[in-house]
Amino acid sequence: MSRNTSTSCRDGPSLPAGVLLMGAVRDLVGRYVELVVVAAAAVLGLTVQAPLVRVAGDTGIDVLLAVLVFATAVTIRPAALWQLPTVWRNMLAALVAGVSILPLLSWMVSRLVAAGSLRDGIMTVGLAPCEIASVATTSMAAGDAAVSAGSLIGSTAATIALAGPLLTLETGHSSVHQGQVALNLTLVVVLPLVAGLLVGKAPPVRSRTSIADTVATLSVAGLVAFIAAHVHLSIRYLAVAAALVVFLAGSVGLGELLGRGTDRASGTAFLLTTSMRDFAIAAAIAAQAFGPAAAAPLGIYGILVLVWGTAAAGYLRSRSARRTPGAGRR
């Protein structure tokens, strides 16, 4: 009898498979909540296109980007900005890579697509600055948002100065209006970033940070929905998607390399800012240089890069949470 009792205690009551499955799903959603929201937004955008296109209009994406920058900047601690000089070598390397390796990589992967407007559009991906949403995904991943913001500012300035000449080098001609690109980036990046940092200097309020995080997540989801609403899939886009996946994989590897030698939070920032290029700016450059049809591949890239960013944020945040207790004891 004692053996049977021992066995019964050891085994314990078993839970129904459905309960275990629901628990696993809840745990997975908790870890990747931003990815779930973004994936739902992508499905919505692909299935309810016409109304979303009308809502987005000509400025909807820019408005959401500005809101996203502001909301993310509010969460950046002003003291963190003073720590940027400690990673200046990595930031300089990331800036140089952004105007050399990434344009070359986008040119190379564009060769996977037949000559024409789709190939031309893919070439512009590597000319774009860091994705504005990468600051938000860095924050979601418990990375250093200040490093991400610094990388964004540096790459934005480089795009304004060099996008035209680099495109001329790639194609032999360019009609990029750098003044228009500069104005757009100032309105969408610089002004909201400064405003958010000023608001963030106020005494910390837990509810303010929580609201800012929620607004940032919803803004990313809104961006994905608006982008997906402009995507019209066809068999021609299989090669486009393959080329963009190769570009994304290459930029992820480069970001991982650039973050080596830094702390975990800074490494996360370099990974995400390097691997996420701004689809909206790339689309603007493509449309200016080659016509509206060349901007079509950038919608697909926008979905890919935002899904990647939110998925990486969930994974990196979860990994950081698992490591924190051990790190604290060390």
In a domain, 278, yes or no: yes
DSSP 68-79: HHHHHHHTS-HH
Please write the tens of the pLDDT for every residue from 161-181.
Answer: 888 888 888 777 666 666 777
The vertex-232 CA angle with 227 and 233, nearest 5°, equals 115
pLDDT of residue 19: 58
Residue 315, H or E segment: helix 296-329
| Angstrom distances, CA of residue 173 to CA of 114, 127, 167, 182 | 19, 15, 7, 20
Query: Is the model's pLDDT at 149 over the cut of 60?
Result: yes
pLDDT of residue 23: 58
Query: Is the model's pLDDT at 1 over the cut of 50?
Result: no
Over residues 209-215, the mean pLDDT reads: 84
Task: Give the residue, 209 or 219, on which the prediction is more confident.
Answer: 219
pLDDT of residue 15: 60
Could you tell me if 143 and 316 are in contact, meaning their C-beta atoms sit under 8 angstroms apart? yes
Over residues 252-276, the mean pLDDT reads: 95
Query: Is the model's pLDDT at 13 over the cut of 70?
Result: no
Neighbours of 31 (CB within 10 A): 16
In a domain, 28, yes or no: no
Task: Give the residue, 102 or 16, on which the prediction is more confident.
Answer: 102
Of 297, 9, 10, the C-alpha closest to 125 is 297
In a domain, 24, yes or no: no
In a domain, 212, yes or no: yes
Query: Is the model's pLDDT at 330 over the cut of 80?
Result: no
**What average pLDDT does the chain have?**
83
Confidence of residue 109 (pLDDT cuts 50, 70, 90): very high
Please write the tens of the pLDDT for every residue from 277-308.
Answer: 988 888 888 887 888 788 888 889 989 999 99
Query: Is the model's pLDDT at 246 over the cut of 80?
Result: yes
Of 32, 69, 30, 64, the C-alpha closest to 45 is 64
DSSP 33-67: HHHHHHHHHHHHHHHSHHHHHHHHTTTHHHHHHHH
Confidence of residue 21 (pLDDT cuts 50, 70, 90): low
Task: Give the residue, 146 or 30, on which the prediction is more confident.
Answer: 146
d(CA 131, CA 273): 7
The CATH number for 266's domain is: 1.20.1530.20
In a domain, 330, yes or no: no
Q: pTM value?
A: 0.79
pLDDT of residue 325: 53
In a domain, 124, yes or no: yes
Q: How many Å separate Cα 53 from the centre of its chain?
A: 22
What's the structural domain count of the chain? 1
In a domain, 9, yes or no: no
Over residues 251-269, the mean pLDDT reads: 95
In a domain, 210, yes or no: yes
Of 185, 257, 314, the C-alpha closest to 176 is 185
The length of the chain is 330
Please write the tens of the pLDDT for every residue from 56-67.
Answer: 776 788 888 889
The H-assigned helical ranges of the chain are: 2-11, 17-31, 33-47, 49-56, 60-74, 78-81, 88-98, 101-110, 117-123, 133-140, 145-171, 178-185, 191-200, 206-229, 237-258, 264-275, 279-290, 296-329
Domain that holds residue 278: 35-316
Neighbours of 300 (CB within 10 A): 24
Confidence of residue 245 (pLDDT cuts 50, 70, 90): very high
